[in-house]
Amino acid sequence: MSTPKAMQQSFALRFSSGAFLAFWCILAAFPIFWIAVMSFKSPVDAFAASPLDVIFGPATRANGDGLSVPDIVIGLIVLFFAIRWAFTRLPGLVRQYCPPGYLVLGWVFGAVLYAVSFILIFFGLLPLILSGLNSILGPLGTPVLGLTTEHYVAVWAENEFYRNFLNSMLVTAGVVTISLTVGTLAGYGLARSGSDLAFWLLILALVFRALPHSVLVAGYLPVFINSSEILRPIFGEGAPTLYGQPWAVIAVLVSINQPFTIWMLRSFFQNIPAELDEAARVDGCSHFQAFRRVIMPVMWPGVITTGLFSFLLGYNDFLVTSLLLDAQNQTMVPAIAGYFNRETTTTDQVEAVAAAVSITAPLFLLVMVFQRQIVSGLTAGAVKG
Amino acid sequence: MKFKTFAAFVGPSVFMMLLFIAAPLVSVFIQSFQVTQSVLEQVEVETCTPGFLTQTCTTEIKTVPVLGDDGKTITETRWVGLESYRNVLQMDKFWEAVGNGSWNDIMQIDFWRALRFTLSFTLLTLPLVIGVGLAIALAVNNAARTIRGPVIFISLLPFIITPVIGSLSIYWLFVGDGILTAMMERWTGTNISMFAQAWTIELLMYFYRVWHVAPFAFVIFYAGLQTVNMDTLESAVIDGASRWERLRHVIVPHLMPLIIFIALIHLMDCYRVFEEIVGFRSQAHVISLQWLTYDFMTPDDAGNRAISRASASAMLTMIGIVFLLVLPLRRTWRDHKGSAH
């Protein structure tokens, strides 16, 4: 497409626009990149005053932890091919070996298998080979880039961060599944009904969306703590105490998320032509049959996008989980607040950084894989007002 | 769609919202007028210590909680009217401070301090987010097609990151011996500590929020820019409009609905500012309304949670939400009536 002459831009404008963009990209990525670098260094290096010391880590290198030039080169090559393979060959393999109709399950299985084998090769096999190689190479094999994984080992193994990880996964998986099941039905109903009631429900949902979560938690907390006494007349002696129960938190997060979910799914369902289910109705389907046979096969893009945002809500939540769960089944984000209280030495600080990076890594992967869906989800609500 | 089918589709969702959003609101409203305390009684206790010839005995009156049959303390719930609100608002101190004309004295009271920060945070970040988002969108729209994908990927990172972790990552850059503080110290030659006074912390919080939300505004504006009518732009060029005039009179009016949408979402989210306080650990200097409620709810050293005060502060927070939503809701209502007729 050629731009008209009058629309062409002067060099200064193009340059400043490009410079601004570059500045923004550095600004956007720098804090995240920097904590990732810090988490791999010994405490002295991580909080060194000179940026070069933080990157190259002389103190870490002095401890004998580091990467030599061949390490870095081979590591990058393996990483490049691993990512390339994941984006080019993996989809084909999943489609080939997966029984039709179970594609989602196949993808989950494929992704887990890929992740496990990647970890085994990259962190198990590769260091073994490379350490042998380094001892042969002599001077070339001496480390140039300080790098240690001791903080990750400390966080995940000694501090049992994997428990928090499992709790996070449980809560997030619950939130995504239930909120999509309930939300899809409601979103479809709202999109296909033009009644005043539907309008008022949407407005009510908008008001609910604006509520600060602490207001709601102030309502739950006393009830949840005393729930075994309150529920005893109904459930008898076995009445549960809701405080500290992951499934109670799941129910709370699903409800808090519901206003957003139904708005978003409604706008996706409005994009599916109503003629589609009308045709099914003419052929003698009830509304539910039309939904199951006609709408469900075409609704997945919208559902996946909404699911991503539900995932983010459950995964990122701090306020609800920190107040309604106790220390035994804490999720990852509130658990990191536990580091504040004992963050006295710099080692503790770097361990907190490593925990923070561990929480961010899955989100990074998420953006990488689902960038298009996230963008479409952000614009879906807005462009239609 | 018949009402019955509609109800079947929406039922579960509405039920959950009523049970977990509407019902807690009602219970918070009621709690804010009540106080639950353990029942105390005064007991005369005689303590004797062995002494020479006779024991030394003293009797004193102690206040102890009454224990029930199950060994737990018995609690009672009383109606206290507006007492919890008075405890939160501390109007007597407030008027005294107003009478003295002392701004600092007002800022000593937690609620007013939180309100001041929440409002200035909401109002100051709003234009910044819209401005920065629009600037990035224009710059990306200007850039070559091949780099747009990677730029969007990088831009999404601050948006998607867990808010607590995001503010922590900026905290670590500026903390005592953090890399950027060290750099600023080298430039200015003075000793800088970013977390020792309120205004620097607030500055970092504004920066964090713009960093976190600008990508959201960017993505929406970028989508809006794709639908700008090229014919209108070209006719503006023929009419001799400069680049700035074209932006001002063609592009911005086209994006106006999106700007309103972002403003509305941003106001709602900013009013709930909370994670920054946790991430920057600024409780001693800067607090927000939602953090105030959170703080009342976390158990203190004795393990008590100030539920009634939390409820009162929650209800006061709600008043702000009403103000925030009145205008957009009236507009929506008018649009709805307009479309119905």
Write the pLDDT tens digit of every residue in A16-66.
Answer: 888 888 888 888 888 888 888 888 877 777 777 777 777 777 777 777 667
Q: Do B268 and A210 touch (CB under 8 A)?
A: yes
Max mean pLDDT among A99-103, B17-21, B55-59 falls in B17-21
pLDDT at A20: 87
Which among A82, A90, A192, A72 has a CA at the least distance from the CA of A133? A72
Q: Do A13 and B243 touch (CB under 8 A)?
A: yes
Q: Are B69 and B55 in contact (CB under 8 A)?
A: no
Q: Which candidate in B16, B238, B270 is best for mutational testing of the A interface (most A CBs within 10 A)?
A: B16
Residue by residue, DSSP assigns B261-328 as HHHHHHHHHHHT--HHHHHHT-TTT---HHHHHHHHHS--TTS---HHHHHHHHHHHHHHHHHHHHHH
Q: Do A214 and B28 touch (CB under 8 A)?
A: no
Q: Do B31 and A218 touch (CB under 8 A)?
A: yes
Residue B295's contacts (CB-CB under 8 Å, 6 or more residues apart) are B283, B287
Reading the block at residue A249, the tokens are 């938190």
What tens digit of pLDDT does each residue of A129-147 get? 777 777 777 666 677 777 7
Dihedral angle, C-alpha A384, B2, B5, B6, nearest 10 °: 30
Give the residue from chain B lying closest to A277, CA to CA. B1
Q: State mean pLDDT over B173-185.
A: 79
- Please give, rounded to a whole number of angstroms, the shortest distance from the CA of B68 to a CA of chain A: 14
Q: Smallest Cβ distance to A367: which of B153, B268, B333?
A: B153
Q: State mean pLDDT over B44-57.
A: 77
Q: Do B10 and A201 touch (CB under 8 A)?
A: yes
| Burial (0-12, 13-18, 19+ Cβ within 10 Å), A360 | buried
What tens digit of pLDDT does each residue of B84-106 get? 777 777 777 777 877 777 777 77
DSSP type of residue A194: -
The b/e string for A13-36 (b: 16+ C-beta within 10 A; e otherwise) is eeeebeeebeebbebbebbbebbb
C-alpha to C-alpha distance for B206 and A237, rounded to whole angstroms: 51
pLDDT greater than 70 at residue A381? no
Residue B206's contacts (CB-CB under 8 Å, 6 or more residues apart) are B121, B124, B125, B128
The pLDDT-based confidence of A236 (bands split at 50, 70, 90) is low
Beta strands A145-146; B40-49: pairing state = unpaired
pLDDT greater than 70 at residue B124? yes
Q: Are B307 and B199 in contact (CB under 8 A)?
A: no
C-alpha to C-alpha distance for B73 and A197, rounded to whole angstroms: 48
Q: Do A319 and B294 touch (CB under 8 A)?
A: yes
| List of chain A residues whose C-beta atoms are within 8 Å of the C-beta of residue B234 | 4, 6-7
ipTM: 0.83
Q: Smallest Cβ distance to A182: which of B12, B223, B311?
A: B12
Max distance between CA atoms of chain A, in angstroms, equals 81
| List of chain A residues whose C-beta atoms are within 8 Å of the C-beta of residue B5 | 189, 287-288
Q: State mean pLDDT over A325-336.
A: 80
Q: Do B261 and A382 touch (CB under 8 A)?
A: yes
The pLDDT-based confidence of B71 (bands split at 50, 70, 90) is low
Which among A333, A241, A256, A318 has a CA at the least distance from the CA of B298? A318
| Average pLDDT value over all residues in chain B | 81
pLDDT greater than 60 at residue A382? no
Q: Do A215 and B164 touch (CB under 8 A)?
A: no
pLDDT greater than 70 at residue A157? yes
